[in-house]
Structures are given as structure tokens and as C-alpha cells.
Homo-oligomer: A and B are copies of this chain.
Amino acid sequence: MRETTVIRLKEDIRLENTTLLVGLPGVGHVGKLVVDHLIEKLDAEKVFEIYSPHFPPQVMVNEESTVKLVNNEIYVCKANGNDIVLLAGDHQSTSTEGHYELGTIYIDIAEELGVKRIFTLGGFPTGQLTHTDEVMGASNDLEMVTELKEYEVTFKPNEPGGGIVGASGLLLGLSMFKNIKAACLMGLTSGYLVDPKSAQALLALLSKILGIEVDVSELEERAKEMEKIVANLVEAKQQEQQQQQPEMLRDTATDEDLRYIG
């Protein structure tokens, strides 16, 4: 395993009118939560495993205490008459050069599988713990921007200001060389915590776009647990402030602006 290794689990993969959904770990794990959820609920079939020296030298431990070498995986499924390809994984590349190598591999596979449209899914950090269902977008194709605006995706000129970094951004860039249109959909999220509520909002949007229905009860459950954790954090923060204020006279942070958690 000195080189990136693509293991093909199924020879004959026939797809039509195909959409690729990319959900790798990132801000709030929003994209990963959505794609992992879809793989389970749509009963998707694993067709590729990708191992690489650009992933951390690490195994994950599962429920049975057995291990799995960190990798990325590609799944396929059919939903509402359309073929969906899903890219999921434990990690993104640890190096800049590895990002380009893996991204090129993924776009080559997408092209081979006849992918016509890519959605890379992620989170957009707001620095605020208050939730909103808003999803922000950017695309490598102006028509796609227009189409997505009809689904109430927010587009702002030059935003995100720092560009889109990592696989979600890079795949938008690399797919241009293959004339595949692609958009990044980012659920708004605090940026401090894993955010199943933002994932739920992103999944709802995606379901509309793809015309599919997906059971979201598990994400809802996780979102409720997370809300309790956030409520506790907010309370703890407020108590800390009340104790510090008489001594410190620092600028007060409200429960909407908890920048220093996490």
C-alpha cells in the first residue's frame, strides 16, 4: 500500500442519468452525516474501496472491536428511477498533493460511471449556536445556480469569502476539466459541534432536488441529543460569565455568540 489503491468490488456497473453525492468529514460533519444516512436508508451497494498513503495511518474500531483501515468508499443505488452514486469516507487526504491525487481519481471514476451532476455536501460555519435550515450554495455552472435558487438554496456573491477548501471545493474545480456540472451545498452550522440538525435540513433539500423520500427519524433523534448538549454548554457559559464579570469586565458573550466553545 505505497500507492493509492482502488479496489473494484463489482465489474459491471450500469448507470443512467447519474448524480454523485459526496459526503466526506468536514465542518460539523454535515456532509458525512447526510451521505452515511442515505447509504443506509437507500440500501446502497458498495462498489469501490479506496485506500491511500494520503489518509492517516489509522484503523477505526467498530462495534465488534474489529478494525477497518481508514478509506473512502463509493456506493451506488437507485431512487425514484435515478441512479445515485455516493462517495463516503472516514477521512479526507492529510496532504495538499494527496487531495489532488484522490480528487482526480474520484472524478475519473465519476466520468466512467456516467455521472452527469455532482453535489458535494458540507457545512458552512456561522460561529453561532442558533439553528437555521438555510443551505448555502456555489457551483461550477451558472445554470445550476439558477436551478438551485428555485429550491431556495442561498447564493451570495463571492461567498464563502475564503473560497471552499478541501474535497467539497476541489471536486467542483476538477470536474470542470471533464465538463461535469457540480455544486457544493453547505448546511449552515455553528462550526463547533457535529450537527445532525443541519444535516437534516440539507437532506430535506436534497430529497426535494432528487425527488426521493428518506426516513429521517434517526437524524432527528441525534439532533435532539445534540440540542441538549448545546443547551448545557450555553448554560455553563452563562454561569461562567456571571462569575467572571465582576472581576474581569470582559466584553459579554450572549448565548448566540459562543465563539470559544470547542
Which residues of A does B touch, CB under 8 Å? 1-2, 53-70, 90, 93-97, 99-101, 103-104, 137-142, 145, 155-161, 163-167, 169-170, 172-174, 176-177, 184, 243, 249
- Please determine whether B138 and A66 come into contact, CB atoms closer than 8 angstroms: yes
Q: How many copies of this protein are present in the complex?
A: 4
- CB-based contact B139/A103 at 8 Å: no
Q: Are A104 and B1 in contact (CB under 8 A)?
A: yes
Contact A66 B167 (CB under 8 A): no
A139 CB contacts on chain B under 8 angstroms? 65-67
- Min CB distance A177 to B, Å, is 7
B97 contacts A96, CB within 8 Å?
A: no
Give Cα A142–Cα B62 distance, bound, in whole angstroms. Answer: 11
What residues of B have a CB within 8 angstroms of the CB of A53 in the complex? 96-97, 99-101
**Residue of B with least CB distance to A144:** B66
Asked if A57 and B1 sit within 8 Å, CB to CB, the answer is no
Q: Are B65 and A100 in contact, CB atoms less than 8 angstroms apart?
A: no
Given that A60-B163, A95-B96 are contacting pairs, would A65 and B169 also be in contact in the complex, using a CB cutoff of 8 Å? no
Residue of B with least CB distance to A62: B158
Q: Given A59-B163, A60-B163, check contact A170 B69 (CB 8 Å).
A: yes
Chain B residues contacting A158 (CB-CB under 8 Å) are 61-63
A132 CB to nearest chain B CB (Å): 19
Let me know if B57 and A138 touch, CB within 8 A: no
